[in-house]
Amino acid sequence: MNKNNPHTTHPLFLHINRFTDIREDDFEEILGAFQTLKVKKKEHLMLADTLCDKQFFVLNGCLNMYFIDANGSKQTLQFAIENWWITDYLAFGNEQKTEFFIQSVEPATILSIDFSSQEQLLERFPKLEKYFRKVLQIAYGASLMRVKYQFELSKEEIYLHFTRNFPDFEQRVPQYLIASYLGLTPEYVSEIRRKQLS
**Claim to verify: residue 186 and residue 138 sit in the same structural domain:** no
**Claim to verify: residue 104 and residue 50 sit in the same structural domain:** yes
Domain that holds residue 165: 153-198
Express each pLDDT in 128-184 by its tens digit. Answer: 999 999 999 999 998 999 889 889 999 889 998 998 888 888 788 998 999 999 988
**Claim to verify: residue 145 and residue 196 sit in the same structural domain:** no
**Claim to verify: residue 119 and residue 192 sit in the same structural domain:** no
> What is the predicted pLDDT for the residue at 8?
76
Query: How far from the centroid of its chain's Cα atoms is residue 88's Cα?
Result: 10
Cα distances from 107 to residues 16, 38, 59, 99, 164, in angstroms, run 24, 8, 11, 24, 25
**Claim to verify: residue 122 and residue 163 sit in the same structural domain:** no
Express each pLDDT in 23-81 by its tens digit. Answer: 999 999 999 999 999 999 999 999 999 999 999 999 999 999 999 999 998 999 999 99
**Claim to verify: residue 48 and residue 64 sit in the same structural domain:** yes
**Claim to verify: residue 136 and residue 38 sit in the same structural domain:** yes
Count of domains forming the chain:
2
Instruction: Say how far apart CA 13 and CA 164 lie, in whole Å.
Output: 29
Q: Which pTM value belongs to this model?
A: 0.90
The enclosing domain of 127 has a CATH number of 2.60.120.10
**Claim to verify: residue 168 and residue 104 sit in the same structural domain:** no
Collapsing DSSP to helix, strand or coil, 102 comes out as strand
**Claim to verify: residue 24 and residue 39 sit in the same structural domain:** yes
What is the helix (H) or strand (E) element at residue 13, kind and residue range?
helix 11-19
**Claim to verify: residue 183 and residue 143 sit in the same structural domain:** no
Collapsing DSSP to helix, strand or coil, 80 comes out as strand
Express each pLDDT in 75-103 by its tens digit. Answer: 999 999 999 999 999 999 999 999 999 99
Give 4's pLDDT tier (boundaries 50, 70, 90).
low
